[in-house]
Amino acid sequence: MRFYLPSNSRDSDVAFVRSAQAIHNSDRLNVLNHSFFAIGCAQAGLDILKTTAQTKSYLTIAPALESLTQELSDCRSKIYVAQQQRESFEEKLRLRGWAVNIANRCAQAAVTVSSGAANSKYHPAQRVYREALVFTVSGQTTAVMMATLDRLTRKEDFSPS
């Protein structure tokens, strides 16, 4: 590889040199790293559901809270395992899409149970919802985008219970 420095620069001005393919290799190796932001965001949404269930006892929030909590736990566990083992890149992408998906669903559930109060930008559900949007695109590559869209459009997620 050849690169040129301005005539007034020194070797000490260069921090490092990597191949043109290095960023793509890094994307493949670190595909799950941003998943933990999404998982934390999902947990924040579940915390809002839990608090709301205690203050609005007339609502039946418990089944949604239980279902989302179990799914988040499954997602988190599978991501931990995938990071320790040599899972395929495609499997890691699938897990990343799942983490983004559940973060957005937990955030939407938090907004839903918070009713109109979630319209305020100062409400915790609003903050979690905005963070879910950020974590959807943080560290996004084309492959991550496609995995997220695949998870969002899975037909079985829309079948009646």
* pLDDT tens digits, 66-118: 999 999 999 999 999 998 888 888 999 999 999 999 999 999 999 999 988 88
- In percent, the amount of the chain with pLDDT more than 90 equals 55
Residue 21 domain flag:
no
Token duo for residue 86 = 């040599």
Residue 16 domain flag:
no
Question: In this structure, what CATH number is given to the domain that contains residue 54?
Answer: 1.20.140.10
Token duo for residue 18 = 């990597």
Write down the pLDDT at residue 157: 52
Judged against a pLDDT cut of 70, whether residue 10 lies above it is answered with no
Residue 140 domain flag:
yes
Task: Quote the radius of gyration of the chain (alpha carbons, Å).
Answer: 20
Rounded to whole angstroms, how far apart are CA atoms 87 and 33? 14
Instruction: Work out how many domains the chain is built from and give that number.
Output: 1
Token duo for residue 42 = 């999902």
Residue 7 domain flag:
no
- In percent, the amount of the chain with pLDDT more than 70 equals 77
Residue labelled with tokens 């239980």: 66
- 75 or 119, higher pLDDT: 75
Rounded to whole angstroms, how far apart are CA atoms 33 and 27? 10
- Domain extent, residue 98, equals 33-153
The total number of residues written for the chain in this structure: 161
